[in-house]
Amino acid sequence: VMATRRAPIVTPDPPTDEMPLLGIDHIELYVGNAMQAAYYYAHAFGFREVAYAGLETGSRDRVSHVMQQGDVRLVLTGSLRPDGEVANHVARHGDAAKVIALTVPNAERAYRTAVSKGARAVHEPREIRDEHGTACLASIAAYGETIHTFVERDDYAGPHLPGFRRVDGGTDAGLFTAIDHIVGNVELGAMDEWVGFYERVMGFTEMLHFTDDDISTEYSALMSKVVSGGGGRVKFPINEPAEGLRKSQIEEYLEYHGGAGVQHIALETADIVGTVRKLRRRGVQFLRTPDTYYDELPERVTAVSDQVDELRAFGILADRDDEGYLLQIFTRPVGDRPTVFFEIIERHGARGFGAGNFKALFEAIEREQALRGNL
């Protein structure tokens, strides 16, 4: 970490880290039809299925397909019952992220630490085992109905977790390397509460923040702060709506999702142009970027000045900070409701989140919001 930066973007964890996090283990989505969602994530996004749990493995109330690409692991879970936790979650929120699972060296210790600092307990620590070994899980509440599950898997060698059987899902498309960040939308006035939760309970530090002066369009605005933990491996931007002339995109999310929840999952790629080309062919739909965005781009991000035509052709956005630049693009919502979507990001040194693109992005989102009659 250079000492000459204006402000530290990632603060190294102190040596006595009470909440050591090794990284994001997986994200579990509760969906209306896990079998068809697995097909979509395989064929549209290029994931391969690596594990499965359902009636055949002794799971009586839910079915889960575990999808892997690079270090990105998505668990798609559907209900086998007309009611219960999964069915009720899907009825209320639509297809949505339920669990942001964090790999830890000791799940019980992480859970006890979090609860002692004020986290709401969801699942007590529990050891589960099968022929591949033992794993320990424990869960606490996050924003909305989202939960964090601490996953301790040092002594587990199976394809996902005990109870899952291996699936030979072929090869993945090699488009993504890791989850870069996961963004939560929370209610008006709740952003600082959740930033405080991550600082106090999870030992995170605040990275950057943008105010609605930075991120406003004619019709809507938001506030956003970013917290980071696990030595910078885990990054959670938190958004809340701000006053705009019309309904903000965050309010639209909160209305259709039914409260706070995960807005987008950013997937890191080493080659965004090649990745977006392939994803488009596979049927993934992206937000469109106004053509005028590219007129100013060579001056704003000089590092990409010789790539502008290519970026324009795919609608890819660029931004820079003191340390480098990044390229990013956002998909349209991936379910029926105007809620959760994905970001694809390629970083070249920059550690920000594309604040310079927020305005261009929001204008693009609002064009779609207007088409839905929600602006």
Give min distance, CB of 40 to Fe ion, in A.
21
Stretch that binds Fe ion, among 86-94, 218-226, 260-268, 308-316 (CB under 5 A): 260-268
Interaction of residue 266 with Fe ion, rule CB under 5 A = yes
Cβ atoms of 165 and 53 within 8 Å: the answer is yes
When the beta carbons of 242 and 266 are compared against Fe ion, the nearer one is 266
Interaction of residue 215 with Fe ion, rule CB under 5 A = no
When the beta carbons of 24 and 266 are compared against Fe ion, the nearer one is 266
Q: Tell me the C-alpha to C-alpha distance, in Å, between residue 204 and each of 15, 17, 224, 261, 353.
A: 14, 10, 16, 19, 17
What is the CA angle 87-33-84, rounded to 5? Answer: 15
When the beta carbons of 145 and 343 are compared against Fe ion, the nearer one is 343
* 334, containing H or E segment: none
Q: Which residue type occupies 24? A: I
Give min distance, CB of 360 to Fe ion, in A.
13
Residues 6+ apart with CB under 8 A from 150: 101, 102, 104, 107, 110, 111, 137, 138, 139, 140
Beta strand 62-69 pairing with 48-53: antiparallel
When the beta carbons of 24 and 136 are compared against Fe ion, the nearer one is 24
Which residue do the tokens 């999870």 mark?
A: 202
Interaction of residue 272 with Fe ion, rule CB under 5 A = no
Give min distance, CB of 340 to Fe ion, in A.
12
Stretch that binds Fe ion, among 51-59, 102-110, 188-196, 261-269 (CB under 5 A): 261-269
**Using CB under 5 A as the criterion, what x/- string covers residues 216-255 for binding Fe ion?**
----------------------------------------
Which residue do the tokens 């491996």 mark?
A: 233
Interaction of residue 346 with Fe ion, rule CB under 5 A = no
Number of residues that bind Fe ion (CB under 5 A): 2
Beta strand 324-330 pairing with 341-348: antiparallel
Give min distance, CB of 352 to Fe ion, in A.
10
Q: Tell me the C-alpha to C-alpha distance, in Å, between residue 38 and each of 50, 129, 218, 327, 352.
A: 11, 25, 38, 27, 31
Stretch that binds Fe ion, among 9-17, 125-133, 162-170, 337-345 (CB under 5 A): 337-345
Give min distance, CB of 236 to Fe ion, in A.
10
Stretch that binds Fe ion, among 19-27, 259-267, 318-326, 367-375 (CB under 5 A): 259-267
Beta strand 234-242 pairing with 178-185: parallel
Stretch that binds Fe ion, among 25-33, 103-111, 138-146, 343-351 (CB under 5 A): 343-351
Q: How far apart are CA 165 and CA 125, in angstroms?
A: 23
Give min distance, CB of 345 to Fe ion, in A.
7
**Closest by CA position to 153, among listed 13, 26, 19, 60:** 26
Interaction of residue 343 with Fe ion, rule CB under 5 A = yes
Q: Which residues bind Fe ion (CB under 5 A)?
A: 266, 343
